[in-house]
Structure 1
Amino acid sequence: MSKIRPLGDRVVVKRSEDETKTPCGIVIPDSAAEKQDQGTVVALGPGKKDSEGARVPMEVRLGDRVLFGKYAGQSIKVDDEDLMVMREEDIVAVIE
């Protein structure tokens, strides 16, 4: 993957792979499958600045599995890989 360096409090997330088959064996075509609202953090910005100009550290870490809102972030494609760029506040939880 090419290097991508998010700015401020932005996070780059690789969306989890969609399930293409149901537990009973029915294959779901790509056009009918819903996008997953979870993924893995692959890049972090340095964090946003507070009112005094000091950096606020990011709460998520590289490699964290996270949940995010359905309409969160911006979809991008880097080296044929689908990624999401979003603000840290768009992440609703870390999956442990």
Structure 2
Amino acid sequence: MKIRPLADRVVIKNVEAEETTKSGIILTGAAKEKPQVCEVIAVGPGGMVDGHDVTMTVKPGDKVLIAKYAGTEVKVDGEECVIVRQSDILAVCE
């Protein structure tokens, strides 16, 4: 199944969190933070959203930084994805 987001929505997939710290400490599953860097999987068409014209500025394949508790988590074909509004994306990582 493929997800096609509507309006200003973006489907993203979390990038795997680091399992060790910079100093070499191995983290358990409970100690890991929710990743904020994600990869864009699909982008909606934009258009009129809440009375404002929205132009989509991200594209599939971009690595983005999102707000910590943004979006709605969904599971598609066994993969966990998050659907967020473009306004929940804080930056594009280059």
Same fold flag (TM > 0.5): yes
- Tell me which amino acid in the other structure corresponds to 1:22: T
Gaps of 5+ in 1: none
1:87 aligns with 2:85: yes
Give the letter aligned to residue 37 of structure 2. Answer: Q
Query: Which SS does the other structure have where 2:31 is aligned?
Result: coil
- Distance in 2, Cα, partners of 1:21 & 1:62: 28
Q: Distance in 1 between matches of 2:57 and 2:21?
A: 34
Q: Choose from 59, 62, 86 the match for 1:61.
A: 59
- Render the CA deviation track for 1:23-73: whole Å, top value 9, x for unaligned: 333221112211111111000111131648xx6431111111100100111
TM-score normalised by the chain length of structure 1: 0.86
Q: 1:76 aligns with which of 74, 77, 81?
A: 74
> 2:23 — aligned with what?
24
Q: Residue 47 of structure 2: SS of its match in structure 1?
A: coil
Higher strand share: 2
Task: Write the distance in 1 (CA, Å) between the matches of 2:32 and 2:54.
Answer: 37
Give me the TM-score of the superposition, normalised by structure 2.
0.87
Alignment of 1:49 onto 2:48: yes
- Paired residue total: 93
Whether 1:35 aligns to 2:34 is: yes
Shift of 1:22: 2.1
Give aligned-pair identity as a percent.
47
Is there any run of 5+ residues in structure 2 with no aligned partner, and where?
none
- 1-side partners of 2:12 and 2:38: how far apart? 6
